[in-house]
Chains A and B, each alone.
Chain A
């Protein structure tokens, strides 16, 4: 049983977010709403059997990506696990490409070859959703290695940081510990962000993870600077803490680790009866809802939003998401004759396979970067 921590004690007037213009925060609110509305449609489409496979929605955790991405530049690589729709959308993926991917259509970001768990978006430097728990953590180190190498050896690009997201369940995989040790030894500018929603499937964190109330100790073991964000349902609170932390990692080109406490409203995946937690627990977090929180701040503190504005924003976003569903429904399914054997190799060679020749895949216009 976890308990909700309200956003208290934070000075809304002096944090980094307080210095940002209204438009930026309104943009955050819109992103939060977009992810929420998108996932509502995702769940609908899943129950209509328009989406198959494993599907994990992001409801409740939206502030994590919106608050942390706000501290990045476009060239900063992002990588995450399978609960990845929010990351894709907040990073700028066209909702159409995201929805169509789940529908298994050619217009999806990965042309229907990856599905819900594997969202890749090259123009926006999203290096994937990854389905194997913690498999993305060595990759996160590699992205940081590459940006640092490009900067220092090739003299290309500015100082970048890589954000590598993981669930609390991924804390228990060896891959993360190898990756953090490598990041520490090589001083790689990667920030491991634990989306600590308290559960991996039905396992409460304290049942699977040592020092679960002091996760920063794990980072300390690898000589990595760390940060805990208790009020991780509050996008401004995330930004206020994360921005200076990320800036330091960027400046010093060194790794970081963030225990970001959040909560998922829905079951682990689309088939989870949720016997391991109470309705009251879920309700206590819903009182801290990221959308309601930011909306309140914008109406009360800043006075830059009215209820009517918010309704209009919701309406506009709902239309976009409806459009995305319609787009996915109307998009063509991949033709096995052209798509089954394409994209296996960048440069296909003859006789690579006994079952058929590989061919060159065509780029998807929605993720090619010229859309």
Chain B
């Protein structure tokens, strides 16, 4: 677990942090290329890859037709052959049509081939509700895909992490599912000029407290911090753990914190059934059951298809209010 952040005055957007990570790694290693829909001439559907075509040219920044299964598979074999593909899904929602390639092939190639061919590939794109995109376009794939062994899953909550984790992902010799958030692409945060990477499987403690452990992944980490600030006004203090990666899961840091606070609230944006929150709670029960003063509580999206109407979508997603209520429930205050 880490607590210290690098001091810097430079503020950049989450999307710029992603771009910097890719560009730096592409400068360092010619085997790295970016393939996806609209990544080149359109400059990225979300302007993440803006300007990269100019720098790296069309042989390395490659516009793909709308064929997720096809270009995901293309990337997988290119990785087996020795290249370092970054495959951009405009949204992870669209990766479902590539399920066979990304779930059956990338994470299992090494095992199925008896260790002969690994698959150093990064699949990245927007995950989670983008804002009134409704059911088909609002997938949080972590609940579904984290079930699969053989890949790492990273989920940055801020620009600093977006850059450091993506650089680690690109250098990784195993497949990485990299979950970004459309809602955070414009968020600004401190990112130093100097080179850095962030290791997988090490959570960061965003706030320190004694009453309850708040554990989260990706965008909802920010809601946890908002909730922590509100709760502090009522003299309730929380550890806020930003897990940074879902697989590997830094369960040791969670257990350490739970042993201190005795209470656990886990927030993740996928559906509750068999979700990362469920996994965290299971593992805490396996390792620190006797330390719990209250049953663990999870805050997920509601167990319904993602609705379109603003009011319904807001009610459906995890947010500060739900987290505050969950923390208070563990303290017997609601």
Q: Give the interface centre of B64, B81, B116 by most chain A CB atoms within 10 Å.
A: B116
Q: Are A364 and B114 in contact (CB under 8 A)?
A: yes
CB closest residue in chain A, given B108: A344
Q: Cα distance A178–B73 when bound, in Å?
A: 10
B-chain residues with CB within 8 Å of residue A141 when the two chains form the complex = 70, 73-74, 77
Q: Cα distance A186–B82 when bound, in Å?
A: 19
28 CB-based A-B contacts, threshold 8 Å = A77-B81, A110-B116, A120-B112, A127-B80, A128-B112, A135-B101, A138-B69, A138-B76, A139-B105, A140-B77, A142-B79, A146-B78, A146-B83, A174-B69, A175-B100, A182-B65, A182-B67, A343-B115, A344-B110, A345-B174, A347-B174, A349-B201, A350-B248, A351-B201, A351-B249, A352-B247, A354-B282, A361-B115
Q: Are B65 and A181 in contact (CB under 8 A)?
A: yes
Q: Are B114 and A149 in contact (CB under 8 A)?
A: no
For A139, give its contact among B73, B118, B174, B251 (CB under 8 Å).
B73
B-chain residues with CB within 8 Å of residue A152 when the two chains form the complex = 59
- The A320-371 residues at the B interface (CB cut-off 8 A) are 342-347, 349-354, 361-364, 367
Q: In this assembly, does A249 line the interface, its C-beta being within 8 Å of a C-beta of chain B? A: no
CB closest residue in chain A, given B73: A138
A-chain residues with CB within 8 Å of residue B104 when the two chains form the complex = 132, 135
Q: Are B74 and A175 in contact (CB under 8 A)?
A: no
Q: Are B70 and A149 in contact (CB under 8 A)?
A: no
Q: In this assembly, does A41 line the interface, its C-beta being within 8 Å of a C-beta of chain B? A: no
**B contact residues, range:** 35 or more
Q: Are B100 and A135 in contact (CB under 8 A)?
A: yes
Q: Are B78 and A145 in contact (CB under 8 A)?
A: yes
For A118, give its contact among B76, B113, B118 (CB under 8 Å).
B113
Q: Are A111 and B77 in contact (CB under 8 A)?
A: no
Closest-CB distance, A182 to chain B (whole angstroms): 5
Closest-CB distance, A189 to chain B (whole angstroms): 13
Q: Which residues of B contact A (CB under 8 A)?
A: 30-31, 33, 59-60, 62, 64-65, 67, 69-83, 100-101, 104-105, 109-118, 120, 149-150, 152, 172-174, 200-201, 247-252, 279, 282-283, 286
Q: Give the interface centre of B62, B79, B105, B282 by most chain A CB atoms within 10 Å.
A: B105
Q: Are A346 and B174 in contact (CB under 8 A)?
A: yes
Q: Cα distance A130–B100 when bound, in Å?
A: 12
Q: Cα distance A113–B282 when bound, in Å?
A: 29
Q: Are B59 and A149 in contact (CB under 8 A)?
A: yes
CB closest residue in chain B, given A353: B149
Q: Are A367 and B114 in contact (CB under 8 A)?
A: yes
Q: Give the interface centre of B113, B120, B252 by most chain A CB atoms within 10 Å.
A: B113
Give 3 nearest A-B pairs by CB, closest first.
A138-B73, A142-B77, A178-B70
Q: Cα distance A364–B114 when bound, in Å?
A: 8
Q: In this assembly, does A108 line the interface, its C-beta being within 8 Å of a C-beta of chain B? A: yes
Q: Cα distance A178–B77 when bound, in Å?
A: 15
Q: Are A182 and B70 in contact (CB under 8 A)?
A: yes
